[in-house]
Amino acid sequence: MSIVATSPANAVAASRAPTGTRKRVDPRWRRGGRAVIGVAVAIGLWAVVTSSGAVDTTIFPTVPAFVGALADSWQALLLSFEATLQSWALGMVVGTALGIVLGVIVGRSYWADASSDIIVRMLRPLPSLALIPIAVLVAGLGVTMTASLVAFASFWPIFINTRYAVRQIEPRLLDSGRAVGLSGWSLVARVITPAIAPAVVTGVRVSVGIAIVVTVSVQLVAGTGGLGGYVLDAQTSGLTNQVFVGVATGGVLGWLLNGVFLVAARKLMPWQPARGAGA
């Protein structure tokens, strides 16, 4: 008969060990549950503050008044939602395509990087709203004008990230690609693109949020419809509740677009999972 010595620490650990198998909760579900709790707490505080008389409810609506305004104007809100999404999508497509292509070209060429440096430093700090008069003169009022300013704003994070990522590629990786006969666009497609993909995805994710802010802001300032135009019309008509509904819908749209992008990023790059929205 053999006797196995058991230390006091092992005995304590064994006594604390669960008798059954505990099912681990998916971290994404846990994070989602906490987010729902956070929203519920915020709505609860909103209801308490507005019902206590601490704020003027003719300016800041109560929860029932907000829900009523949403129910009364959901059709107009849906049309505005679609118009904003259209301008956002068109601008993001153009800004993303130009950012990636020019980022690769400038990142690969020292001459192109040096010759474009002053232009980049001049244009990058310009706010999109300051370009509204020029955009109106060139494209007129409408989706094209809004989308062009969205493309301008979304271009920079993607371009900067792409250029930086291309210049940081390990030279031996490029040499290995050339050694197997890759050159030109085949080298870009087979070697450079996978190497810069994480940086490009980060740039696009930043641009997603910037683009929705610019879309609504341009529509609000220029009165070109969409959610910004909806808020502007509600403010002009003195419909305070509808103003808050429009602003909240813009926030929901930004949250949805960020979530869709995260899901797409996980599918396209499963080897490098995208983090949650709060990352």
How far, in Å, CA of 84 to CA of 246, rounded? 11
Domain range list for the chain: 56-268
Using a 10 angstrom Cβ sphere, with 0-12 exposed, 13-18 middle and 19 or more buried, the burial of residue 163 is: buried
Q: Which residue has the tokens 């490009």?
A: 200
How far, in Å, CA of 182 to CA of 185, rounded? 8
Whether the CB-CB separation of 242 and 230 falls below 8 Å is answered with yes
Q: What pLDDT sits at residue 207?
A: 93
Q: What pLDDT sits at residue 89?
A: 94
pLDDT tier for residue 276 given thresholds of 50, 70 and 90: very low
| Contacts for 247 with CB less than 8 Å, ≥ 6 apart | 231
Q: Which residue has the tokens 């989706």?
A: 143
The pLDDT tens digits of the residues spanning 140-152 come to 888 889 999 999 9
Q: Is pLDDT larger for residue 154 or for residue 196?
A: 154
In this structure, is the dihedral angle defined by the CA atoms of residues 55, 58, 59 and 60, taken in order, positive or negative? positive
| Contacts for 6 with CB less than 8 Å, ≥ 6 apart | 14
Q: What pLDDT sits at residue 18?
A: 53
DSSP characters for 98-129?
A: HHHHHHHHHHH-HHHHHHHHHHHHHHTT--GG
Count CB atoms within 10 A of the CB of residue 224. 24
Closest CA to 191 of 176, 206, 202: 176
Does 71 have pLDDT greater than 50? yes
Does 139 have pLDDT greater than 50? yes
What value does the mean pLDDT of the chain take?
81
The pLDDT tens digits of the residues spanning 20-62 come to 555 566 666 677 677 788 888 888 888 888 888 777 777 888 8
Whether the CB-CB separation of 91 and 150 falls below 8 Å is answered with yes
Q: Is pLDDT larger for residue 183 or for residue 256?
A: 256
Domain 56-268: CATH architecture, name and number where available:
Orthogonal Bundle (1.10)
φ, ψ at 181 (rounded to 5°): 95, 10
Q: What pLDDT sits at residue 85?
A: 92
Mean pLDDT of 145-163: 93
How far, in Å, CA of 64 to CA of 255, rounded? 23
How far, in Å, CA of 212 to CA of 95, rounded? 13
Does 264 have pLDDT greater than 90? no
Does 279 have pLDDT greater than 50? no
Mean pLDDT of 227-246: 89
Q: What pLDDT sits at residue 46?
A: 82
The one-character DSSP state at 131 is G
